């Protein structure tokens, strides 16, 4: 036996139901750290990685071992490419991300389908297995979550399952990392033999006959032929095929229901034989938690309470204390150390300024808020890993239908409090194009984590101990305007019926401390990387523009500097909103690069050495009302460039993207204007 694949490299595609552990396995196989979460629809795009197990031909066998281990000399090892895909319930895709999976399997033809089956839920998961098996591609079933099955006292007769399904089955636990090497070894064996799965489910004779004829006629896979019979044309059928299909359809009035029932009947028989010791009962922990989380009256108040607690911890005394600590370390200890170091090496005034007043003050001004951002992401990660996310979609659906959305939109919108980019992408899981676009258009209203430093710095400066309330109010204002905009959009530019709501509610899982921290770290890392790259660059540029004239002369006169001139030119636009200073205008513009840059730019422009110095300057520059108006503008105006790019690619429309930008700017200006001018009447 030997390899008949392209360039001696195998391609294995991970396919399975949503939430069955595909990405967990992918991360385990490739050593990556992609997002895993306890709800259906975490992965919304295709990802590739190289398997850490390599193989080489060893006499007649293919041997696998970890790439890092010592090689027997002279042997060439070969790689396996792993593809992670969004979860699907069947091969008839329903939402945008499911199409990606179906198309990949159908068109790209991997060497092997690794079908991940959640062993705690065989009946539903095996339905897809009966379909994948007939795609004309070798397949292995990875029976995942075996740890959970064993914990609840269940046993699965693997040999029997293999025999009945006609597919190789390997028990694993992706979460615990057990059975993985066996899985790779067995998969290689199947892939290199090119052996296809046997027929499993059979249909009534006349349907079987039609299917065989179509397979011959179209030279296609059994699955494709079955779908043609059901009236789902994966390929353009020939006249002959059309005749066979219409002949069959005149005999049966509902072939799809018949075939699906047959599959489930067949699966029920298998599960009855192979599975023992697991009673068909609702998981008790999930039931107890849900009787609170999804309660008729308590569900929504509990959610609001939970959000409030998260908010209090992040923005209250605890979070603030942590940030003050970091502020002291960076702007106090580190900055003076670097200052002395530069002096010691005799650095000139300009380069000292660039490092201290540009880079450290700019980047440091933002990194200060690192602990608070970490807390926020820690809570979000916990919500995602526990299984609560799907519940929020469930309890909010009725309200969301009223504003023209579906409860499922709630998950992307919640993610928007972290970052708008994944939030816009998560909208792919929604069931209709209209819902997707509407949700994407509303994500910028969910105040993202990067805006947090701006709120804390400015609200802290002008509102002192009342800052917490003001920030809470900002988040609420964002949500309120999202609701109003949602209603307006769904009645004007994005009309249409609310699509049906079909949502799986996964079992709760207690996330381990390790996995939650890991998950949080993956999110926080982006923030740190951005501080080290985009913010660093922006800080240097801002410092240079502040200290150079258009003739590239070094200047200390701010009004002559490039920034001074530009700022003075734009600032009148914001004067009616109460913050007509050039510094405010420039900060807002640099906020387009990254929202944290608003703070770093201010630190540089005001020459503030640390957070308290910045806040003192701000307090003298802005009245509380002007500060509030500025914050409202930051909350609402165009998201950063990365977010706009994501929004554009999810909306798939330049026109709508431009609309979104214009809408956000207009509404931001209008709201700040109203806040400042109506507020002035009272103050």
Partner 1 sequence: MLSLSALRDGEKAVIVSINTHGRLKRRLLDMGIVPGTEVTLVRRAPIGDPIEFYVLGYRLGLRKKDAENILCEQGSSVRE
Residue 400's nearest CA partner among 384, 413, 387, 417 is 413
C-beta closer to Mg ion: residue 41 or 460: 41
What's the rounded Cα separation, in Å, for the pair 607 and 60?
72
C-beta closer to ligand GTP: residue 385 or 435: 385
Helix residue ranges per DSSP H, 62-121:
96-103
- By CB under 8 A, residue 404 contacts partner 1: no
What's the rounded Cα separation, in Å, for the pair 602 and 604?
5
C-beta closer to ligand GTP: residue 38 or 129: 38
In the complex, least distance from residue 275 CB atom to partner 1, rounded to whole angstroms: 10
- Strands 139-144, 168-171: pairing is parallel
* Residue 148 contact partner, candidates ligand GTP, Mg ion, partner 1, none, CB within 5 to 8 A by sort of partner: ligand GTP
Strand order in the sheet with 139-144: 47-50, 80-84, 10-16, 112-118, 139-144, 168-171
C-beta closer to ligand GTP: residue 237 or 422: 422
- By CB under 8 A, residue 260 contacts partner 1: yes
Burial letters 442-469, b for 16+ CB under 10 A, else e: bbbbbbbbbbbbbbbbbbbbbbeeebbe
**Tokens, residue 658:** 């431009």
C-beta closer to partner 1: residue 391 or 523: 391
In the complex, least distance from residue 511 CB atom to Mg ion, rounded to whole angstroms: 16
**Tokens, residue 217:** 């006629």
Provide CB contacts within 8 A for 523, sequence distance 6+. 377, 380, 381, 418, 419
In the complex, least distance from residue 610 CB atom to Mg ion, rounded to whole angstroms: 42
What's the rounded Cα separation, in Å, for the pair 462 and 676?
14
* Residue 500 contact partner, candidates Mg ion, ligand GTP, partner 1, none, CB within 5 to 8 A by sort of partner: partner 1
- By CB under 5 A, residue 101 contacts Mg ion: no
Residue 114's nearest CA partner among 105, 122, 123 is 105
Q: Exactly one of 28, 384, 397, 650 binds partner 1 (CB under 8 A); which one?
A: 397
Output the CA angle 502-503-509, nearest 5 degrees: 165
In the complex, least distance from residue 256 CB atom to partner 1, rounded to whole angstroms: 6
If you search the block for the tokens 């390790």, which residue do you land on?
Answer: 514
What's the rounded Cα separation, in Å, for the pair 502 and 3?
43
CB 224 within 8 A of CB 235: yes
Provide CB contacts within 8 A for 658, sequence distance 6+. none
C-beta closer to ligand GTP: residue 515 or 612: 515
* Residue 41 contact partner, candidates Mg ion, ligand GTP, partner 1, none, CB within 5 to 8 A by sort of partner: ligand GTP
* Residue 385 contact partner, candidates ligand GTP, partner 1, Mg ion, none, CB within 5 to 8 A by sort of partner: ligand GTP
Give CA 671 to chain center in angstroms. 30
C-beta closer to ligand GTP: residue 77 or 176: 176
- Strands 155-156, 61-66: pairing is unpaired
Choices 15-23, 89-97, 378-386, 562-570 (CB under 5 A): range interacting with Mg ion: 15-23
- By CB under 8 A, residue 261 contacts partner 1: yes
Q: Exactly one of 143, 169, 395, 634 binds partner 1 (CB under 8 A); which one?
A: 395
Q: Exactly one of 53, 377, 394, 633 binds partner 1 (CB under 8 A); which one?
A: 394
C-beta closer to Mg ion: residue 45 or 254: 45
- By CB under 8 A, residue 97 contacts partner 1: no
Binding to partner 1 in span 115-174, by CB under 8 A:
120-124, 127
H/E segment holding residue 212: helix 205-218
The size of the interface with partner 1 (CB under 8 A), counted in residues, is 44
- By CB under 8 A, residue 504 contacts partner 1: yes
- By CB under 8 A, residue 92 contacts partner 1: yes
Q: What are the beta bridge partners of residue 14?
A: 84, 114
* Residue 579 contact partner, candidates ligand GTP, Mg ion, partner 1, none, CB within 5 to 8 A by sort of partner: none
- By CB under 5 A, residue 23 contacts Mg ion: yes
In the complex, least distance from residue 401 CB atom to partner 1, rounded to whole angstroms: 8
Beta strand residue intervals within 241-358, DSSP E = 275-276
- Strands 47-50, 61-66: pairing is unpaired
In the complex, least distance from residue 22 CB atom to ligand GTP, rounded to whole angstroms: 4
- By CB under 5 A, residue 43 contacts Mg ion: yes
Output the CA angle 72-76-80, nearest 5 degrees: 115
Residue 79's nearest CA partner among 158, 188, 170, 217 is 188
Choices 46-54, 109-117, 292-300, 463-471 (CB under 8 A): range interacting with partner 1: 292-300
* Residue 38 contact partner, candidates partner 1, Mg ion, ligand GTP, none, CB within 5 to 8 A by sort of partner: ligand GTP
What's the rounded Cα separation, in Å, for the pair 260 and 551?
75
* Residue 141 contact partner, candidates ligand GTP, partner 1, Mg ion, none, CB within 5 to 8 A by sort of partner: none
**Tokens, residue 540:** 């240097």
Provide CB contacts within 8 A for 475, sequence distance 6+. 311, 417, 447
In the complex, least distance from residue 86 CB atom to partner 1, rounded to whole angstroms: 15
* Residue 147 contact partner, candidates partner 1, Mg ion, ligand GTP, none, CB within 5 to 8 A by sort of partner: ligand GTP
- By CB under 8 A, residue 503 contacts partner 1: yes
Q: Which spans of this chain sit near ligand GTP (rule: CB under 6 A)?
A: 16, 18-24, 36-38, 40-43, 86-87, 144-145, 147-148, 173-176, 385, 509
The residue sitting closest to ligand GTP, measured at its beta carbon, is: 87
- By CB under 8 A, residue 502 contacts partner 1: yes
In the complex, least distance from residue 17 CB atom to ligand GTP, rounded to whole angstroms: 7
**φ/ψ of residue 117, rounded to 5:** -115, 130
Cα torsion 652, 657, 660, 663: sign: negative
- By CB under 8 A, residue 398 contacts partner 1: yes
Instruction: List residues binding partner 1 (CB under 8 A).
Output: 89-90, 92, 94, 120-124, 127, 256-257, 260-261, 264-265, 268, 272, 280, 282, 286-287, 290-291, 294-297, 299-300, 390, 393-395, 397-398, 407, 500-506
Instruction: List residues binding Mg ion (CB under 5 A).
Output: 22-23, 42-43
């Amino acid at each position: 036996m030997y390899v008949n694949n392209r360039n001696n490299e195998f391609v294995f595609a991970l396919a399975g139901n949503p939430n069955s552990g595909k990405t967990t396995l992918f991360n385990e196989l490739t050593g990556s750290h992609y997002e895993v979460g306890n709800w259906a629809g975490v992965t919304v795009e295709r990802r590739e990685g190289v398997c850490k197990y390599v193989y080489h031909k060893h006499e007649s066998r293919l041997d696998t071992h970890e790439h890092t281990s010592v090689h027997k000399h002279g042997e060439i090892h070969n790689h396996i490419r792993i593809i992670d895909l969004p979860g699907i319930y069947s091969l008839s895709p329903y939402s945008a991300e499911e199409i990606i999976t179906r198309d990949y399997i159908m068109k790209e033809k991997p060497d092997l389908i690794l079908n991940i089956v959640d062993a705690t839920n065989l009946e539903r998961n095996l339905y897809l297995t009966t379909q994948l098996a007939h795609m004309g591609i070798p397949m292995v079933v990875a029976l995942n979550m075996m740890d959970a099955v064993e914990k609840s006292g269940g046993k699965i007769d693997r040999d029997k399952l293999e025999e009945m399904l006609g597919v190789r089955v390997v028990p694993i636990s992706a979460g615990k990392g057990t059975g993985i090497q066996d899985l790779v070894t067995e998969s290689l064996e199947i892939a290199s033999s090119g052996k296809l799965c046997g027929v499993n489910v059979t249909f009534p004779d006349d349907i079987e006959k039609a299917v065989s004829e179509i397979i011959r006629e179209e030279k296609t896979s059994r699955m494709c032929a079955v779908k043609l019979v059901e009236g789902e044309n994966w390929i353009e059928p020939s006249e002959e095929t059309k005749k066979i299909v219409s002949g069959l359809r005149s005999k049966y009035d509902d072939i799809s229901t018949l075939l699906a029932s047959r599959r489930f009947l067949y699966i029920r028989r298998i599960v009855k034989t192979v599975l023992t010791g697991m009673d068909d009962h609702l998981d008790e922990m999930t039931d107890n938690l849900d009787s609170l989380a999804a309660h008729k009256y308590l569900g929504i108040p509990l959610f609001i309470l939970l959000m409030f607690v998260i908010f209090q911890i992040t923005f209250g005394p605890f979070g603030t204390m942590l940030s003050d600590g970091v502020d002291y370390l960076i702007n106090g200890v580190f900055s003076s150390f670097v200052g002395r170091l530069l002096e010691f090496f005799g650095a000139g005034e300009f380069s000292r300024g660039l490092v201290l007043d540009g880079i450290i003050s700019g980047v440091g001004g933002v990194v200060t808020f690192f602990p608070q951002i970490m807390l926020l992401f820690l809570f979000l990660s916990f919500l995602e890993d526990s299984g609560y996310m799907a519940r929020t979609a469930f309890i909010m659906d009725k309200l969301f239908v009223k504003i023209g959305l579906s409860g499922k939109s709630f998950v992307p919108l919640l993610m928007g409090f972290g970052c708008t980019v994944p939030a816009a992408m998560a909208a792919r899981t929604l069931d209709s194009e209209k819902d997707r676009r509407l949700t994407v258009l509303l994500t910028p209203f969910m105040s993202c984590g990067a805006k947090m430093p701006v709120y804390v710095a400015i609200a802290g400066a002008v509102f002192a101990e009342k800052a917490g309330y003001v920030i809470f109010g900002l988040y609420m204002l964002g949500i309120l305007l999202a609701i109003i905009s949602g209603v307006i959009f769904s009645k004007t530019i994005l009309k249409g019926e609310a699509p049906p709501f079909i949502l799986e509610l996964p079992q709760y899982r207690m996330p381990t401390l390790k996995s939650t921290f890991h998950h949080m770290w993956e999110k926080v890392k982006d923030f740190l990387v951005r501080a080290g790259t985009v913010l660093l660059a922006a800080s240097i540029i801002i410092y240079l523009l502040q200290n150079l004239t258009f003739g590239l002369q070094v200047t200390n006169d701010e009004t002559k500097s490039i920034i001074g001139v530009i700022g003075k030119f734009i600032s009148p636009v914001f004067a009616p909103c109460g913050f007509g200073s050039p510094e405010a205008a420039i900060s807002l513009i640099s906020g387009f690069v990254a929202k944290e840059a608003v703070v770093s730019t201010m630190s540089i422009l005001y020459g503030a050495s640390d957070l308290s110095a910045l806040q003192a300057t701000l307090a003298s520059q802005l009245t509380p009302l002007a500060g509030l108006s500025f914050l409202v503008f930051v909350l609402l105006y165009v998201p950063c460039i990365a977010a706009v790019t994501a929004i554009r690619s999810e909306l798939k429309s330049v026109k709508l993207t431009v609309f979104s930008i214009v809408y956000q700017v207009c509404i931001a200006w209008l709201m700040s204007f109203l806040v400042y001018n109506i507020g002035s009447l009272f103050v």
